[in-house]
Every structure is written in C-alpha cells, then in structure tokens.
C-alpha cells in the first residue's frame, strides 16, 4: 500500500511520529527553528498532510501551494496561526490539541503567579551573584496569596483548571466568560462578573482567552488603570491579548504591582524595556512544556492528521462544517 507523504514543520516528541510512521513517510524540518515563509511554502508542496506549529502561518497561500493536501493538524491548542475561514472555503480540515495541556498550562500560571508575587527571579539573581548580604527584614517583601482574590479572564478548560487549583489557598474566585461556569460556581463559589468588576476586585488577574479580533489588546493602559495598584497580571494565553508597550509603561509607573508572562506580543521578541523591569517574570512560552503534555499533543496531532488522511473527520476538528 502506498504510504502517505507527511511533513512536520519542526521536531515534536516521538509518540505521535511513531503513530504516523505506521502508514506515512514522515519528513521533519531538520533544523531546530521555525521555518521561514519560503521554506514553509516549499515544504508543504506535494504533501498529503502537514503537522504545523503555532509559529507557522497557515493561510490561503499555504493551502493553495499545498494543492491536493488533505489537511493541517496544528500541534497546539491555540490556533490563531490558522486561517480557519480560508480552510473552510477550500473544504480543508484543520485541528488543534485541546485537553492534553490543560493542567500543565494551569500549573505554569501558578508557577508564574508565585514567582512574581514573591520576587523569585530577583531573589535568585542576588543569590547567584554572590552579593546577598544575609537575611534582612525589608528584603523582597512580596504579595500574599492565601485568602486573596483570583480573577480568571476566560473560564475555559485552562482557566477552570487554574481556578480549581486555588482551593488550597482559600481564594475568592471571580471570572469572566460568555457563559456561566457551573463547575467553578459549585466547587469554589466562584462568581461570574463583568470585566470591569474583575479588574477592580482582583489581586491576581490570570488571562485565559484565545487570541481573536475581540481579545487583541484587551489589556491596555485603560485596563491597567482599573486594576488595583497591588495587583499582578499573569498571561499564559497569547501575547497580543496584552498591549505590551502599554504594559511596560504601567509597570514602570507602578500602576500595577507586577506581571508574569509566558507569551509575548511579537514573539520571540519583547518590546523595549520589558526585560529590564524588576517587577516582571518572563518565561519563553513554555506553559505546555511538560513530558506528558507535549507527548499528548504529539499523539493528538498525529491522530487528527491520520483521520484527515483517511478522509475522516478528525477528533479535534476546527471546521466541522466542511463535513455537513
Ligand atoms: C498552545 O498549545 O496553544 C500553547 O501555546 C503551546 O503549547
């Protein structure tokens, strides 16, 4: 039987690749870096299917260049890099990897929350520099967590998981979402509130909305001014949800106490000034980077692609209407 011809735009964990290799010839970008636009266009040509990453812009041009392709399986839960409309118009299936990175991402949001609240990075720096003068009553005094108010912006899978993890810290939980989250309300007595109320009341604001036209720059100078001066902002969702230049200004002027970021508006770049601030924690988009989460993403992407190759609807289809 002829094997399918599959391209993977960057090396991913072996679990999914092993599945693909049963029925496909799999070629992988040999370089440990994102493909340039030219390389992407060249390498999708003549393929039956592609596993793409969040760093690949899969738009109409790529789809048309990949003439005859059966679909693109994104190795990420976020899919703002995919032009779903263009794919639907071409009856091409697209998929993502929901579920398997929920806990890892929620755990990272907590990691960032504690790191920024307790000045962990600055404290670590002084230890490594060998300049710590010894214990001091006024050193690195941070924000309290237990009993404080956690504001979850976007109570989907990851926002919900993060909120549920607050149980041990007896936090009051507020959230915004289009629909009521009965799990959070039942388990935590969480309250669905307006965005403005959440900003005004929360000690920690954690961002969990997808990037869409309506969420681009949802956080900007006006919004920071509505937050408590003692509040911290945590972002494990997508960088452009925050106006990063305005965040730098807000942090410089202590409009808010701090921010902890895993994602950036212009990845892999950061806006000028961000990296110099002491009241930020900056991680390199690693929220899903745990062994089980990344293996799960690999398997999901592979299973989705295998279904597309067989002409079946993939389990995590982003445009199911093409099968109607
Ligand atoms: C995603 O899946 O969308 C994360 O940003 C990377 O794992």
In this structure, CATH architecture of domain 102-282: 3-Layer(aba) Sandwich (3.40)
Average pLDDT over residues 126-137: 98
* Structural contact between residues 315 and 306, judged by C-beta atoms closer than 8 angstroms: no
> Residues near 276 by Cβ (< 8 Å), separated by ≥ 6?
none
Q: Does residue 1 register a pLDDT over 90?
A: no
Which residue is listed with tokens 């295998």?
306
Which residue minimizes the CA distance to atom 1 of ligand 1? 76
Distance 78 CA to ligand 1 centre (A): 6
Q: Which residues are catalytic?
A: 238, 267, 285
Q: Is 252 helix (H, G, I), strand (E, B) or coil?
A: helix
C-alpha dihedral sign at 17, 285, 117, 115: positive
4-100+291-323 has which CATH code?
3.40.50.720
Cβ atoms within 10 Å, residue 114: 14
Distance 136 CA to ligand 1 centre (A): 40
H or E stretch covering 151: strand 149-153
Closest of 240, 233, 275 to residue 255, by C-alpha: 233
Which residue minimizes the CA distance to atom 2 of ligand 1? 76
Q: CB under 6 Å to ligand 1: residues?
A: 54, 76-78, 101, 288
Nearest ligand 1 atom to the CA of 79 is: 3
Q: Is the pTM of this model over 0.85?
A: yes
Which residue is listed with tokens 């109320």?
197
Per domain, the residue ranges of the chain are: 4-100+291-323, 102-282
**E-assigned strands of 144-276?**
149-153, 172-176, 191-192, 204-207, 232-235, 258-261
Check for a shared fold between 4-100+291-323 and 102-282.
yes
Distance 125 CA to ligand 1 centre (A): 28
Distance 134 CA to ligand 1 centre (A): 40
Nearest ligand 1 atom to the CA of 237 is: 5
Nearest ligand 1 atom to the CA of 293 is: 7
Q: How confident is the model at residue 57 (pLDDT cuts 50, 70, 90)?
A: very high
- Name the strands in the sheet holding 232-235, side by side, starting at the edge strand that comes first in the sequence: 191-192, 172-176, 149-153, 204-207, 232-235, 258-261, 280-282
Q: How confident is the model at residue 116 (pLDDT cuts 50, 70, 90)?
A: very high
Angle between helices 157-164 and 102-117 (to 10 degrees): 50
Q: What is the pLDDT of residue 150?
A: 99
């Amino acid at each position: 039987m002829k094997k399918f011809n599959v391209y993977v735009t960057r090396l991913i964990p072996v679990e999914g690749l092993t599945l693909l290799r049963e029925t496909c010839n799999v070629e992988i970008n040999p370089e440990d870096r994102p493909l340039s636009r030219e390389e992407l266009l060249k390498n999708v040509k003549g393929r039956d299917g592609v596993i793409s990453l969040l760093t690949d812009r899969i738009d109409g041009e790529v789809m048309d260049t990949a003439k005859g392709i059966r679909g693109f399986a994104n190795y990420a839960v976020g899919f703002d890099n995919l032009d779903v409309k263009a794919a639907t118009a071409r009856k091409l299936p697209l998929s993502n990897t929901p579920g398997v990175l929920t806990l890892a991402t929620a755990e990272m949001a907590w990691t960032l929350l504690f790191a920024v609240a307790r000045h962990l990075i600055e404290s670590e720096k002084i230890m490594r520099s060998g300049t710590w003068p010894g214990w001091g009553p006024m050193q690195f005094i941070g924000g309290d967590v237990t009993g404080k108010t956690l504001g979850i912006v976007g109570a989907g899978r990851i926002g919900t998981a993060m909120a549920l993890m607050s149980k041990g810290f007896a936090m009051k939980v507020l959230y915004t979402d289009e629909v009521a989250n009965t799990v959070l309300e039942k388990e935590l007595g969480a309250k669905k509130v307006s965005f403005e109320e959440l900003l005004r009341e929360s000690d920690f604001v954690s961002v969990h909305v997808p990037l869409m036209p309506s969420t681009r720059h949802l956080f900007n100078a006006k919004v920071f001014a509505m937050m408590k001066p003692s509040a911290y902002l945590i972002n494990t969702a997508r960088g452009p949800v925050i106006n990063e230049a305005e965040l730098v200004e807000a942090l410089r002027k202590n409009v808010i106490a701090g921010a902890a970021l895993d994602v950036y508006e212009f990845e892999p770049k950061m806006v000028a000034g961000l990296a110099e601030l002491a009241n930020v924690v900056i991680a390199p988009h690693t929220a899903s980077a745990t062994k089980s989460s990344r293996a799960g993403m690999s398997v999901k992407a592979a299973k989705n692609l295998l279904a597309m190759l067989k002409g079946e609807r993939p389990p995590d289809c982003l445009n199911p209407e093409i099968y109607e």
